[in-house]
Amino acid sequence: MLGRPIDVDVRRFVLRASLFLAFLSVANLGLIAAAGRTGIGRSLRFTNLPRRTSSWGGQSMVAFREAKSVSDVDILFLGSSHTYRAFDPRFFDELGWSSMNLGSTAQSPLNTYYMVTPLLDRLAPKVAVIDVYWLVLETTGVEGALDLAQNLPASWAALRMTLATRDPRALNQLVARFLEGQEALERRPVTLRPGDTYVGRGYVEKAADYKEFQEYRPRGVTISDRQLSYLRRVIEELRERGSQVVLVVAPVPQEELQATSNYEEIDARMESWALEMGVAYIDFNKILRLDLQDHFFDNHHLNQEGVSRFLPVFYEEICRLGSWDRLGGSCSTERGL
Amino acid sequence: MLFNSWAFAAFLPAVFLIYWKLAATSLRFQNLFLIAASYLFYGWWDYRFLSLIIISSAVDYSVGLGLAATEGARKRKALLLASLLANLGLLGFFKYFDFFIESFAALLATLGFQPNLPSLRVVLPVGISFYTFQTLSYTIDVYRRRIPATRDAVAFFAFVSFFPQLVAGPIERAASLLPQFQRRRAFDADVAADGLRQMLWGFFKKMVIADNVARHVDVIFAGSGDYGGQTLFFGVFLFAFQIYCDFSGYSDIAIGTARLFGFSLMRNFAYPYFSRNIAEFWRRWHISLSTWFRDYLYIPLGGSRLGAFRHHVNVIITFTISGLWHGANWTFVIWGLLNGLYFIPLMWTGRRKKHGAEIAPGRVLPRLTELAAMAVTFAATLLAWVFFRADSLSHAVSYLGRMLLGNPFAGEQIARGVFVPGLTFITAMVAVEWLQRHRQHALEMPGVRRWIRWSIYLAVALSIVTFGSFSQTNFIYFQF
C-alpha cells in the first residue's frame, strides 16, 4: 500500500514548503552572521541571536588552547567558574604535581560531557576533581554552551553539545563562530573581566581589592535529573580511563547558603547520589567558613585571598580520601595547614 | 506531544506524508492510521491515560448504537444517563475529586469539625475536559435525533482522538466533524497552504508573545505581595495577552494542522479583545466551549424562554459551571460567576446582541465610542483574569486590593524597560489582527502579490526563530 506514488499536488506542496524553509534558513543564517559581527543580538532582549563574536575571547579560549599541548596530567579540574577561580595550579606545582583546569563559565556536566571527555585519552588524569555547584546543576547547560561554542573551534562535539541543550541560542552562537572562521578565532584577543589575571593552565586569579557584590535574593534550587545523568556519564568516562573522581563544592559565602532555601536538601541529595555512584563528595561549605568581604569578590566567587585559604583545606580533605596516594604524595598536615 | 516541540516537528511531516500516501487506499485504512498517529501523539505524555480515551470512545459508540436500536423513551434516557455518568464520572474523578473533598473538609472545619478525609492527589489526564465534552455532544445529539448514530467504529474512534484538537479543542460537534471521517478526503494544496499560514501565526503568538511574557507574569503574580499597583497592573495586562496568545495560538495551530489533513475544524477565536461588550466577547472567545454550554446547558435549562428571572439565573449558572470546567479551584468559579454578572446590565438594557459580527466595517480605525466600548470591555476582562490566574481566592483579592486601592507607585516596582519587548510584540500582534479582523486568521491575504505575502510570512517565521521561546512550555489550557 505504501508503494503507491504520492499525489502530485502533495509533492508540489511539500516542495513549496521546503522552498520556504530554505529561504528561512538562508535569511536566518544572514541574521546570525550579522548579529555575530555587530552584536545587535545582545542589545535586543528576548533574542536568540548570538553575541558578538570578535569581542569576546575569554578564559576558556586560552585554557582549551593550552590543553592541546598537555598530556598525562596528575589532576584535572572540571566545572564552572567556581573551578577556574578556585584551583590555582601554582599550589599543586609546589607539590610536584601537574594540573590542568578546564573549568569554564557555567560549565555543567552536559557541557563537560561533550567538550571535555573527547580530550580525556590524552589528558589521562590520575585524579579528576569536579565542582558540582548547585546552581549549575539546575541549568539546561545553555550558558555553558554559549561560552564554549563561542571560544572553541567549531566541531562535531560542539554541535552535539549545542543540540543537546535544546536551545537555539547555543546553536546560533556556534553557527556565528563557524561563520567567523578559524583564523579569526586564532587572532582574537583575550578579553578578561576587570580585576582578572590569567595565570595559566585555565586558572584565573581575581585581585583581592576587586568587589562587585549584589543583594542576595532567597531562592530554591531544583537539581536537573538530566544534568545528573550527564554527570554520571562523565564519571563513567573518567573511570574507564582509570581516573579517580572526586566531587566537590567549593566554598561560597554564608549569605549565599542562607539565600538558598533548600541548601540542606540539595546537599543531602548530592551526598546520597555520590554514594550510589561510588564517588567521594565533599561540600567545603561544611568544613570551611570564609568571610564574604575578605574572601570573595562577588556573591559566590572566591578571590585570591579566599583561594589561598581554601586550597590547604582542600589538600587535607583529599588526603583523607587517599586520592593523593596515586600521585605519590604524602599527606602531611604541615603542608596543608 | 506539544505542538511547540521537536518531537512534533518530526511527527507532523512523517504523519502527513504517510497519510496522503494512504489516500489512494481505503478510507478505513487511512482512518486507522489517524487513530494510531493520534494515540502516539497523546501517549507521548502518558500512554496509561490512552485507556480513558478508549473507554470514553467505546462507551459513546455503544450508547449511540443502543440509541439507534431503541425507540422506548425510558430506555433511551437510561442509555443517555449511562453515557453522562461514564464521561462525567471520569471527568469528576480525575479533575474534581480532590477539589470536592478538600472543599468539603474546609466547610466542615469552619463548622468546628476536624475531618480526616482522603485526598488522592489524582493526576489530571491531559485533554480530558475536551474529549469528554466532544463525545458527550455526540451522544446527546443522537439522543435528540439530530444526527444518526454511526456504525463505523473506526471513524468514530478517529473522531474522538483526532490529534490536532484532542488535548485542547476546538471542541467539535459530531454533526460537523464525524461526517468528515466518513468521506474520502482529497488533498487541496490551497487549503493546506492556508493551514500552514494559520499555524505560522499560531506559533508566533505562542512562542514569541505568550511564552516570553509568561516569565514576567509568573514573577509578578508570585511576588504580588511586594509589588506596587503599577507593576501589578502590568502583570494582569500581560497575562491577558499571554492567555489569549497561548490559547488562540494553540487553536490556530490545531485548525491549521487539521487543514493539512483535509479536515475543517470550527473557529475558536475571533479577535475577542476587539469586542465592544462582554456578550460579544463571549461570542468571540473560546467559541467552541461557549456554544457547547449554550447548546447543552443554557438552552436545556430554559435559556431566555422562562421569564426574566429564570433567564438571569440560567446565565449565572451557565457561566459559573463554565468557570468550574476550567479548573478545580474556587478562583475559576468566581471568574465564571463574575463574567455571568457582567451580563446582567446588558440584559437589563437589551444590548446583549447589539453588536454584529463586523467591527468598524469599512473603516481603518474604530469610532471613538467603539474604542471606548472596547476599552471598557477589556478592563472588565482584566479584573476577571486576576481570579483566573491567582493561586487562590485570597491571593486574587489581595492582588486586586493592592492594584486598585493601594498607591500605584508604592512598594517594589519592576523597571518598565523590562516590559518593552513584550509590549512591542503585543502591539505588533494587535495591529496585524486589527487590520485582518474580517479574516478567519491574521495571515489570510488573498489578492496580495505573492512576493509581498512571502516576505510577510518570512518576517513572521524569522521573528519566531529570532525572538521565540524554545523552552517547550506547555499550553495553559492543557491543565484544563
Interval B250-261: pLDDT, tens: 999 999 999 999
Closest residue, chain A, to B197 (C-alpha)? A17
A334 pLDDT more than 60:
no
Residues in B whose CB is inside 8 Å of some CB of A read 6, 17-18, 20-25, 29, 187-189, 192-193, 196, 212, 418, 420-422, 454, 457-458, 461-462, 465-472
Q: What is the ipTM of this complex?
A: 0.80
Q: Where are the domains of chain A?
A: 9-43, 59-144+189-336
Interface with chain B: mutation pick from A2, A8, A10, highest number of B CBs within 10 Å: A10
A57 pLDDT more than 70:
no
Q: Tell which residue, B183, B200, B156, has the closest CA to residue B64.
A: B156
Contact check, Cβ <8 Å, A10/B187? yes
Closest residue, chain A, to B422 (C-alpha)? A46
**B193: which chain A residues are within 8 Å (Cβ-Cβ)?**
13, 16
Q: Min CA distance, A317 vs chain B (Å)?
A: 40
Q: The whole model's pTM is what?
A: 0.83
Q: Tell which residue, A296, A321, A293, has the closest CA to residue A307.
A: A296
Give dist(CA B443, CA B433) in Å, integer: 9
Q: Tell which residue, A298, A94, A102, A65, has the closest CA to residue A188.
A: A65
B306 pLDDT more than 90:
no
pLDDT value, residue A335: 45
Contact check, Cβ <8 Å, B420/A13? no
**A1: which chain B residues are within 8 Å (Cβ-Cβ)?**
22, 25, 29
Contact check, Cβ <8 Å, A13/B212? no
**A15: which chain B residues are within 8 Å (Cβ-Cβ)?**
none
Count of all residues that appear for chain A in the document? 337
Q: Tell which residue, B459, B424, B209, B466, has the closest CA to residue A49.
A: B466
Query: How many other CB atoms are found less than 10 A from the CB of residue B358?
Result: 9
pLDDT band at B355 (very low <50, low <70, confident <90, very high): low
Q: Min CA distance, A72 vs chain B (Å)?
A: 40
**Who among A1, A9, A23 is closest to B458 (CB)?**
A23
Contact check, Cβ <8 Å, B22/A1? yes
pLDDT value, residue B111: 77
Closest residue, chain B, to A49 (C-alpha)? B466
Amino acid identity of residue A136, one-letter, is: V
pLDDT value, residue A5: 63
CATH of domain A59-144+189-336: 3.40.50.1110
**A166: which chain B residues are within 8 Å (Cβ-Cβ)?**
6, 470, 472
Q: Which residue in this structure is represented by grid cell 555575530?
A: A36
**Who among A6, A12, A168 is closest to B465 (CB)?**
A168
Contact B443, B204 (CB under 8 A): no
Q: Determine contact: A34 vs chain B, CB below 8 A.
A: no
Burial class (CB in 10 A: 0-12, 13-18, 19+), A12: exposed
Give the contacts of B44 (CB within 8 A, at least 6 positions apart): B1, B7
pLDDT value, residue B473: 64
Contact check, Cβ <8 Å, A9/B189? yes
Amino acid identity of residue B394, one-letter, is: S
For residue range A58-75, what is the model confidence (pLDDT) as tens digits? Answer: 888 999 999 999 999 999
Query: How many other CB atoms are found less than 10 A from the CB of residue A35?
Result: 25
Interface with chain A: mutation pick from B18, B19, B21, highest number of A CBs within 10 Å: B21
A1 pLDDT more than 60:
no
Contact check, Cβ <8 Å, A12/B23? no
Cell matching residue B158:
478517529
Three-state DSSP state, A78? strand
A280 pLDDT more than 60:
yes
Contact check, Cβ <8 Å, A48/B466? yes
Interface with chain B: mutation pick from A46, A166, A171, highest number of B CBs within 10 Å: A46
**Who among B23, B193, B457 is closest to A7 (CB)?**
B23
Query: Would you please indicate which residues of B are annotated as catalytic (active-site) residues?
Result: 326
For residue range A134-171, what is the model confidence (pLDDT) as tens digits? Answer: 999 999 999 999 999 988 888 999 999 999 998 888 99
Given 3-state DSSP classes, what are the helix, strand and coil percentages for chain B, each rounded to the nearest 5? 70, 0, 30
Contact check, Cβ <8 Å, B193/A14? no
Bridge partner list, A249: A283
pLDDT value, residue A195: 86
